[in-house]
Amino acid sequence: MPSFRFLSSACNSKIYAQYSAKKMDLFNPVGMRLESHPLDMNSRPERMKVNKIATKPFPDQKPGTSGLRKKVRVFQQPHYLENFVQSIFNCLPESERGMLIVGGDGRYHNRQAIQVILKMAAANGFRHILVGRQGLLSTPAMSVLIRKYKACGGIILSASHNPGGPEGDFGIKFNTTNGGPAPEKLTEAIYQQSLAIEAYHILEIEDISLDEIDSCTLGRTRLDIIDPVEDYAELMSRLFDFGRIKTLFDSGLFRMVFDAMHAVTGPYAKEIFEHRLKAPPDTVINAVPLEDFGGGHPDPNLQNAQELTSLMFSGEAPDFGAASDGDGDRNMVLGRHFFVTPSDSLAVMAANIHHLPGYHSGLAGVARSMPTSRAVDRVAESLGVECYETPTGWKFFGNLLDSHKITLCGEESFGAGSDHIREKDGIWAVLFWLNLIAVRQRPVSEIVQQHWRRFGRHYYSRHDYEEIESTMAEALMHRLAEQLHTLKGRQFGEFRISECDDFSYTDPVDHSISSHQGLRFLFDDGSRLVFRLSGTGTRGATLRLYLERYLADPARHNLDLQQTLAPLAAIADDIAQIKKYTGRDKPSVIT
């Protein structure tokens, strides 16, 4: 056990007795800049100078579905980060400024931003701050910590799956007391604060070394630098049968590769898969978090995780492959020569959740984002539970989870989760599949194909047109919306549009309404087209086209995916004039 230096009499030492002082090579990655002249953790004065810095609003600090994301150079502008952080703090009453948790995915500018946030949090009266060692915390781990220690909230520094480095992206997101992303009402309040801000508060102190587990005080604020992995790993060991999963690796016959993509899940994957489950030492690849993700794009899909994808479709393919993204909340799952779509993954999870020790009570219900395929709907119908269709954005699952209406939720953009936290969770999803393989004693491909034979197959794909001119993207969507009332009943070859609308969601818990969440075109045979503009990029606009075709006949379950969807893609271009408005002959990314 580490020897903490408890400098505040009000601290609860029991909370932190669990943290291990072990050192991991992964926590001293190449490319992580260490602070110069750090303040000694033992010699902080009780009274420190708080500076009130005059500032002016920036007009572009409106958070999207995943917080505020901009290019690094935007966040490096004087006062830019400080303004947004102060706007968050201004929305939290002083009586609720208890424990704040801070961490990020290790991307470029992560450490510098954390130093600012720690000094501002202390200056704004937070009584207790937890920060991950070396500033690292995955998004799922953040949710675990908030919920376990009943923190008032947490600040996550990440742009998720977006590229990093000096020319890359940076982001900041606030999670609330339930461990989930701030709801729209709060993000709107933060935005309004950012438009009216006149000053921010910050301690005048040197930077703080974050490289070792330690404790100190900043004025009247207690600061603890913690092991970012331990609490998360312990929760995973209670949700899944680690003993049974371990037998897969003990046999010597089961091989797995996990691609951490030089992002934050490297330390988590090494601890859980290699240390606790005893997978071979080379199981986790690209395990060291780097500020630029090794020059790669930390988005776990077939295009960006090419090293893993090539291996899984080669003659030397292991039995199981998986990857996670920049901040650890997304996942990709593959079997030998077999890709599991996120929509199918969610449906398989729902159909098999009773096999897992942490979920013996079964499903209360399920939820999916509107663009996600309706494969899980059929499972829910079979099990007699409710299936909720929400807008895109994990925050929309929060009320359903908090009110115990659902147990599982997921989205087509490589995200899945459960009621264990209030974020999607990449390593959790991988452990789910490992536990399922250990129980079923079948390879990934066979598990999915058996599922199709029972429920039918939803051929599904997303076509992304990235960084297109915003005005043209908006014009495309506007023209398409104007056609909604004329396209119903129209025939396109063998496909007939039965319904079309601009999706609107009424939250069944708080009855809030979210409108204009995407244009849906439903066909008589169960096929769908969905059009959305994405809010996760930092340059131009991304048009997302979702194509779904349902085929119940097992004899038609092994067709080529894109060829099967080609007629729907042609209809999409016909009604939306995609080539005309985007200037593209093909999508930037197909998943």
227 residue type, one letter: D
Give the C-alpha separation, 547 to 570, whole Å.
11
Q: Are 100 and 152 in contact (CB under 8 A)?
A: yes
Whether 160 is catalytic is yes
* DSSP 8-state symbol, 546: E
Q: How far is CA 316 from the centre of its chain?
A: 30
Quote the CA–CA distance of 555 and 575 in Å, as a whole number. 31
Q: Report residue 86 as tokens.
A: 């102060």
The torsion angles phi and psi of 16, rounded to 5 degrees, stand at -105, 5
Angle at CA of residue 438, ends 250 and 137, nearest 5°: 85
Q: Could you say which of 160, 215, 343, 413 is catalytic?
A: 160
Distance separating alpha carbons of residues 527 and 577, to the nearest angstrom: 20
8 Å CB contact between 346 and 368: yes
| Identity of residue 20 | S
Cβ burial of 314 (10 Å; 0-12, 13-18, 19+) is exposed
- For residue 416 the two structure tokens come to 């899945």
3-state secondary structure of 412: coil
Pairwise CA distance, residues 129 & 148, whole Å: 14
| CA proximity to 164, closest of 294, 33, 31, 329 | 294
Query: 524 vs 253, 384, 419, CA distance in Å?
Result: 47, 24, 34
Distance (Å, whole) CA 89 – CA 93 = 8
For residue 324, the one-letter residue type is S
H or E element that contains 50: strand 50-54
CB 136 within 8 A of CB 270: no
What is the residue-wise DSSP string for 102-144? EEE---TTHHHHHHHHHHHHHHTT-SEEEEEEEEE--HHHHHH
In this structure, what token pair is assigned to residue 84? 């947004």
**Residues 175, 302 contacting (CB under 8 angstroms):** no
The set of catalytic residues is 160
